[in-house]
A and B are shown apart, each in its own frame.
Chain A
Amino acid sequence: MQAFDYVRASSVDEVVSLLAQNGDQARVLSGGTDLLVALREGRRQAKLVIDVKGLAETSRIDYAPGKGLTFGAAVPCHRLYDNAEIAAAYPGLMDAATLIGGVQIQGRASMGGNLCNASPAADSIPALIAHSAIAVIAGPSGTREVPVEEFCIAPGRTQLQNGEFLVSLRVPAPAPGFGAAYLRFIPRNEMDIAVVGVGASVTLDESRTTFVAARIALGAVAPTPLYVAEAGASLVGKKVSAEAIEEAAKIAQAAARPITDMRGTAEFRKHLSAVMTRRTLEKAIARAKAA
């Protein structure tokens, strides 16, 4: 692997100043499951690797029912799904956390890292969008917050400016009648990259028969994870029905603009966009009714 220096950072300010000084020659390390592979293969260059796992801000999990969840950008997936309360409150996030790589990847890989890696096919991003997650960013001029759907700007590229890094993710408390899910299509049973992935959340009314709110996001069908606000909006105020779900799926499908690559053709992905949106909504609705 290319030679670099390593710093185990001990404060947010230290990370920001190291990043500001070193520009794109510095890389932030949390779980390393993407970064170390990229450095080894020469796809990324680094003179300095800044390990942020030692910061309280990037490694904490704060959860209170009714208040919501904030978890550090370096929190590995397994710490989220090993927490029964969080797993129950954020089912869409758990769907994603349990299928990013195998167990040994989930022991290291973080959702924050998955977001910063900015793969169009990242599993956690549609789930984070479905759960209305907010990215908390630290930088030279302080902290700013960006909705996750605006965080990625191109394959492998994010909103982060020089000197900035992702500190944590803030996820609102689920409302009563809330349900969410993330599903992906892969040709195998596990350990694969999504051909299409869909994150969806719904909030149903007190009688659990009418949509109050809904959010739908697709992965692997555009240069960035794709939030389709109008697909969710089409459900609001409607009774839960196969027709309403089908219409939302059609809107999501229309928004998808996939490419053909080794994992699937554009045509197949377009088809999957509707199928997976429908299935994910059905799962989210079932969870909302059971909640």
Chain B
Amino acid sequence: MSNKVRVQTKLNGHDVEFLAEPRQSLLEVLRDTLNLTGAKEGCNNGNCGACNVIMNGVLVNSCLVLAVEADGAEVTTIEGISLAGELHPLQKKFLEHAALQCGICTPGFIVSAKALLDKHPDPTEHEVRMWLSGNLCRCTGYDKIVRAVLDAADSPELEATRA
């Protein structure tokens, strides 16, 4: 067994330090060490997007990042998407559009959609569908998810989140 390594991150806006074995993925540490269980383990091989987080401004599968690689990085998980106790417009629109059933894929979709809207505030439907192609949902069939994201992009509240 390898020795644990000290890792310092900025996690959802807070300085967070943890110990990780080199073989542990960021996803494992988020869930099992830091108790942030919003990111889900779906496929654990980069296909499903349920574990997506934003690392240094870039959307990544946290199952394909070693926790030790996050040393010095800024990481945003689904737990860091809401704003001072208020749901993020994306979260509100997912509820309004009933864009989920079992909910396992939902954190990943919302984190992906957040990364999309950060980069492309006014995406076309095609752009939304292509951007979310790395997120799999086996319940709802995507349409409500796409509508929720497009509606969130149009929402005046979203503008306020950028202020």
Binding site for B on A (CB under 8 A): 1-6, 8, 29, 31-33, 36-37, 39-41, 49, 51, 53, 76, 78, 101-105, 107-108, 189-191
B61 to chain A, nearest CB (A): 5
Q: Is the CB of A2 within 8 A of B23?
A: yes
Most chain-B CB neighbours within 10 Å: which of A37, A76, A78?
A37
Alpha-carbon distance between A102 and B135 when the two chains are bound, in angstroms:
8
Residues of A within 8 A of B24 (CB): 1
Q: Is the CB of B133 within 8 A of A3?
A: no
- B3's nearest neighbour on chain A, judged by CB, is A5
Q: Is the CB of B22 within 8 A of A4?
A: yes
Q: How many residues of B contact A (CB 8 A)?
A: 35
Given pairs A36-B63, A36-B66, A101-B134, 8 additional interface contacts (CB within 8 A): A6-B5, A6-B68, A40-B44, A102-B132, A102-B134, A105-B46, A107-B55, A191-B133
Residues of B within 8 A of A1 (CB): 23-25
Q: Is the CB of B60 within 8 A of A107?
A: yes
Contact mask B54-68 → A, CB, 8 Å, 1/0?
010011110111101
Alpha-carbon distance between A102 and B60 when the two chains are bound, in angstroms:
10
Q: Is the CB of B58 within 8 A of A36?
A: no
Q: Is the CB of B22 within 8 A of A103?
A: no
Residues of B within 8 A of A6 (CB): 2, 5, 22, 66, 68
Residues of B within 8 A of A33 (CB): 46, 61, 64
Q: Is the CB of A108 within 8 A of B134?
A: no
A70 to chain B, nearest CB (A): 22
- A53's nearest neighbour on chain B, judged by CB, is B69
- A101-B46, A102-B133, A190-B130 as given contacts; A107 in contact with B59, CB under 8 Å: yes
Check B1 for interface membership: any CB of A closer than 8 A.
yes
Check B45 for interface membership: any CB of A closer than 8 A.
yes
Alpha-carbon distance between A19 and B147 when the two chains are bound, in angstroms:
50
Residues of B within 8 A of A39 (CB): 23
Q: Would you give 10 A-B contacts (Cβ < 8 Å), ordered by A?
A: A1-B24, A3-B1, A8-B71, A32-B65, A36-B25, A51-B69, A102-B133, A103-B115, A104-B59, A107-B58
Residues of A within 8 A of B69 (CB): 32, 51, 53
B129 to chain A, nearest CB (A): 8
Alpha-carbon distance between A31 and B64 when the two chains are bound, in angstroms:
8
Alpha-carbon distance between A41 and B71 when the two chains are bound, in angstroms:
25
B54 to chain A, nearest CB (A): 9
Alpha-carbon distance between A206 and B131 when the two chains are bound, in angstroms:
39
Please pick, from B2, B55, B115, B130, the residue contacting A4 in the complex, using a CB distance under 8 A. B2
Q: Is the CB of B23 within 8 A of A3?
A: yes
B23 to chain A, nearest CB (A): 4
Check B79 for interface membership: any CB of A closer than 8 A.
no
- A47's nearest neighbour on chain B, judged by CB, is B2
Residues of B within 8 A of A76 (CB): 58
- A6-B5, A32-B66, A37-B45 as given contacts; A104 in contact with B22, CB under 8 Å: no
Check B106 for interface membership: any CB of A closer than 8 A.
no
Residues of B within 8 A of A37 (CB): 45-46, 64
- A4-B2, A78-B58, A105-B61 as given contacts; A49 in contact with B46, CB under 8 Å: no
Residues of B within 8 A of A103 (CB): 59, 112, 115-116, 131, 133-134
Check B21 for interface membership: any CB of A closer than 8 A.
yes
Please pick, from A40, A49, A53, A104, the residue contacting B49 in the complex, using a CB distance under 8 A. A104
Check B52 for interface membership: any CB of A closer than 8 A.
yes
- B135's nearest neighbour on chain A, judged by CB, is A102
Alpha-carbon distance between A41 and B68 when the two chains are bound, in angstroms:
20
Most chain-B CB neighbours within 10 Å: which of A4, A33, A104, A191?
A104
Alpha-carbon distance between A143 and B23 when the two chains are bound, in angstroms:
31
Please pick, from A8, A78, A191, the residue contacting B134 in the complex, using a CB distance under 8 A. A191
Q: Is the CB of A32 within 8 A of B21?
A: no
Residues of A within 8 A of B65 (CB): 32, 36, 108
Residues of B within 8 A of A4 (CB): 2, 22-23
Alpha-carbon distance between A60 and B1 when the two chains are bound, in angstroms:
34
Alpha-carbon distance between A51 and B69 when the two chains are bound, in angstroms:
8
- A103-B115, A104-B112, A108-B65 as given contacts; A49 in contact with B22, CB under 8 Å: yes
Residues of A within 8 A of B49 (CB): 102, 104
